[in-house]
Chain A
């Protein structure tokens, strides 16, 4: 453990220590000025003492210490090499906190395996899709090599890399049997897209048909095949349909609205109106290459409404003409193909042996000194403004 300065040049600021000394000297000769009309009856015999004298030693000393500390703070002091050997316990957010084993030692750090590593006493963070492998590497690099790390994972989890993580330490990889991040290992659902366009929106049909052909072809082949079916006028989505493209100026029928609440996803043209939907609380679902929002999405029951923000034709929506359009539609509707990110915990146990050793970042002491400076400044102000000084 050793003490170091990141910016030793800042110690030049110690030169300002001269200032308070000068102030305390100058104040001595600069006497209080008072208006006195009866001056002619004052004699000039009694001169005040002019010997350089420093008064208020405590205040001067306090100010010197204060300035020295500020200079030290500017120099950014750090503490090197304090080994932090506290054991860590990391729990995957899909496991209940109650299933974590009791703390092996009072200093044990009990955290969630999630970005920021929140404490286990907080409620489980939501699964945001943050890469588990990345989190494991981060904690491995941040902790000194002596610290023991135990990780609790479910039998199956998502968001992994395609490779087993290689770490510098051997983790205690505890698989909690009988748990999984997934409710059931289900087969990918087939996306069945129903489509309806009125006369004014007929121009959109060729683009969508072309997109559906692209979905089925090899270029964007997915584990979730998608089929496009054109509905007749007045027809409602069938129970098997997962998505609906409704390009019509007419309002959405009641049956369709119920279908969306039950879990369907409907894409609407710009001029379509839906009763009871607050379009001000939406998220942007699709952005053009220039960053302008092209579609907005609002949740409704189990399903969602997506509304285009531009008319569905090539002049207004140049994205229609781009080669990426089929893929963009897939992303927008949520039928994009999955990559293999799921893993079985047994097979994914990280292996030790990474030869690279990450230097431990020195512990900064700046905030402690800042607090001390603030405290001393308060004391200095209190001393400097106390009525005792002006009573003399």
Chain B
């Protein structure tokens, strides 16, 4: 479980998770971190001030100390952020330049950044990672230890298989409560992933997609003959890279544009994260000032 580099943490510090709908539905203007008020989690005692509700005075403490104290509790943030990580076999792909850093590794780092944002905002957060065989889920919680628990769970995820079918997915839908923020980390090459995001968006979740792409997919730096293999459906293609390059780049750009249009229609925020980008590139795009703004 690699910690984020300090410069990335510094760049992430001013950022907060926010949803398109905001928390206006709950009547609070912002869900900024720790605010005192009534709630479940006890925060502190403070001295009674004129105007305080007498019901908030801790009368038992008054009986012991002969002074008026008011119980304060931490108000819970209404936002629940879910980091959903695609763990299908295509997430195991690596770049030629960095053969030991897979797409899943990039997704883990972005997830770490997103959890850091949730932690800074005092939001509750959880993690969901799945493929055809496995489902790793950490229920929503908050605090630094919960963040570490989530990152540890992500560390155990191995890329394998394909995107799960809808029946398997249904189980995880219950976790993703309405009005929660869903951050999907995937390559989005599988249509089923985008379809799920669309369904979630229609069903009232605030969905963001970070499309994790490799530098080789963007640049196609291969030269000579190659056997290109798709590990998910075991199909392969033997070809001369130079001859394939122009056509591929055109079609790949078209596919990305089509995905962007599709997301815009569904009200999904989309950001691309390339393997050689800074770790916080996509998060800045989604939640930073140059993005949608507050």
Binding site for B on A (CB under 8 A): 31-49, 392
- A43 to B235, alpha carbons, bound, how many Å? 13
Contact A34 B227 (CB under 8 A): yes
Contact A36 B228 (CB under 8 A): yes
* Partner among B103, B224, B240 whose Cβ is within 8 Å of the Cβ of A47: B240
* Partner among B93, B103, B187, B239 whose Cβ is within 8 Å of the Cβ of A42: B239
Contact B239 A34 (CB under 8 A): no
- Shortest beta-carbon distance from B173 to chain A in Å: 26
Contact B223 A392 (CB under 8 A): yes
* Partner among A33, A38, A43, A44 whose Cβ is within 8 Å of the Cβ of B189: A38
CB-CB under 8 A for A39 and B240, given A32-B225, A34-B222: no
Chain B residues, CB < 8 A from A48: 225, 238-240
Contact B92 A35 (CB under 8 A): yes
Chain A residues, CB < 8 A from B232: 37
Contact B229 A36 (CB under 8 A): yes
Chain A residues, CB < 8 A from B90: 37
Contact B248 A34 (CB under 8 A): no
- Shortest beta-carbon distance from B273 to chain A in Å: 15
User: Would you call B196 an interface residue if the criterion is a C-beta within 8 Å of the partner chain's C-beta atoms?
Assistant: no
Contact A37 B93 (CB under 8 A): yes
CB nearest to B216 among chain A residues: A36
Chain A residues, CB < 8 A from B247: 42-43, 45
Chain A residues, CB < 8 A from B235: 39
User: Would you call B217 an interface residue if the criterion is a C-beta within 8 Å of the partner chain's C-beta atoms?
Assistant: yes
- Shortest beta-carbon distance from A32 to chain B in Å: 5
Contact B228 A39 (CB under 8 A): yes
CB-CB under 8 A for A35 and B94, given A41-B248, A46-B244, A392-B223: yes
* Partner among B92, B243, B252 whose Cβ is within 8 Å of the Cβ of A46: B243
Chain A residues, CB < 8 A from B240: 46-49
Chain B residues, CB < 8 A from A35: 92-94, 229, 231
User: Would you call B265 an interface residue if the criterion is a C-beta within 8 Å of the partner chain's C-beta atoms?
Assistant: no
Contact B227 A33 (CB under 8 A): yes
CB-CB under 8 A for A37 and B225, given A43-B244, A48-B240, A49-B240: no
- Shortest beta-carbon distance from A50 to chain B in Å: 9
- A45 to B242, alpha carbons, bound, how many Å? 12
Interface string of B210-241 (1 = CB under 8 A from A): 00000011000011111111111001111110
Would you give 8 A-B contacts (Cβ < 8 Å), ordered by A?
Answer: A31-B225, A32-B225, A32-B226, A34-B228, A35-B229, A37-B217, A38-B252, A40-B189
- Shortest beta-carbon distance from A48 to chain B in Å: 4
Q: A34-B222, A41-B252 are in contact. List 20 more A-B contacts (CB 8 A).
A: A31-B224, A32-B225, A33-B227, A35-B93, A36-B93, A36-B230, A38-B187, A38-B217, A38-B248, A38-B252, A39-B229, A40-B189, A41-B255, A42-B228, A43-B247, A44-B237, A46-B240, A46-B244, A47-B239, A48-B225
- A42 to B189, alpha carbons, bound, how many Å? 13
Q: For chain B, which range describes its interface: under 10, 10 to 19, 20 to 34, or 35 or more residues?
A: 20 to 34
Contact B237 A39 (CB under 8 A): yes
Contact B230 A37 (CB under 8 A): yes
User: Would you call B55 an interface residue if the criterion is a C-beta within 8 Å of the partner chain's C-beta atoms?
Assistant: no
- Shortest beta-carbon distance from B213 to chain A in Å: 8
Chain A residues, CB < 8 A from B60: none
Chain A residues, CB < 8 A from B93: 35-37
Contact B227 A37 (CB under 8 A): no
CB nearest to A36 among chain B residues: B228
Chain A residues, CB < 8 A from B236: 39
Contact B224 A32 (CB under 8 A): yes
CB nearest to A32 among chain B residues: B226
Q: Which 3 A-B pairs have the closest CB atoms?
A: A46-B243, A37-B90, A48-B225
- Shortest beta-carbon distance from A54 to chain B in Å: 15
- A33 to B227, alpha carbons, bound, how many Å? 5
User: Would you call B251 an interface residue if the criterion is a C-beta within 8 Å of the partner chain's C-beta atoms?
Assistant: yes
Chain B residues, CB < 8 A from A392: 223-224
- A46 to B225, alpha carbons, bound, how many Å? 10
- A312 to B116, alpha carbons, bound, how many Å? 93
Contact A34 B238 (CB under 8 A): no
Chain B residues, CB < 8 A from A44: 237, 239
Contact B244 A34 (CB under 8 A): no
- Shortest beta-carbon distance from B228 to chain A in Å: 4
Contact B239 A33 (CB under 8 A): no
Interface centre among B92, B224, B228 (most CB of A within 10 A): B228
Contact B226 A33 (CB under 8 A): yes
- A23 to B47, alpha carbons, bound, how many Å? 87
CB nearest to B90 among chain A residues: A37
CB nearest to B242 among chain A residues: A46
- A392 to B224, alpha carbons, bound, how many Å? 8
Contact A42 B94 (CB under 8 A): no
- A112 to B61, alpha carbons, bound, how many Å? 114
- A38 to B212, alpha carbons, bound, how many Å? 12
Chain B residues, CB < 8 A from A40: 189, 230
Interface centre among A41, A47, A392 (most CB of B within 10 A): A41
CB-CB under 8 A for A43 and B227, given A37-B93, A38-B217, A49-B240: no
Contact A37 B231 (CB under 8 A): yes
Chain A residues, CB < 8 A from B255: 41
Chain A residues, CB < 8 A from B238: 31, 47-48
Chain B residues, CB < 8 A from A33: 226-227, 229
- A38 to B222, alpha carbons, bound, how many Å? 14
Chain A residues, CB < 8 A from B224: 31-32, 392
- Shortest beta-carbon distance from A33 to chain B in Å: 5
CB nearest to A28 among chain B residues: B225
CB nearest to B94 among chain A residues: A35
- A31 to B228, alpha carbons, bound, how many Å? 9
Contact A34 B223 (CB under 8 A): no
- A202 to B223, alpha carbons, bound, how many Å? 99
Contact A41 B251 (CB under 8 A): yes
Chain B residues, CB < 8 A from A36: 93, 216-217, 228-230
- Shortest beta-carbon distance from B232 to chain A in Å: 7
Chain A residues, CB < 8 A from B94: 35
Contact A31 B244 (CB under 8 A): no
CB-CB under 8 A for A37 and B189, given A42-B248, A43-B244, A392-B223: yes
* Partner among B229, B243, B252 whose Cβ is within 8 Å of the Cβ of A34: B229
Chain B residues, CB < 8 A from A42: 228, 237, 239, 244, 247-248
- Shortest beta-carbon distance from A260 to chain B in Å: 76
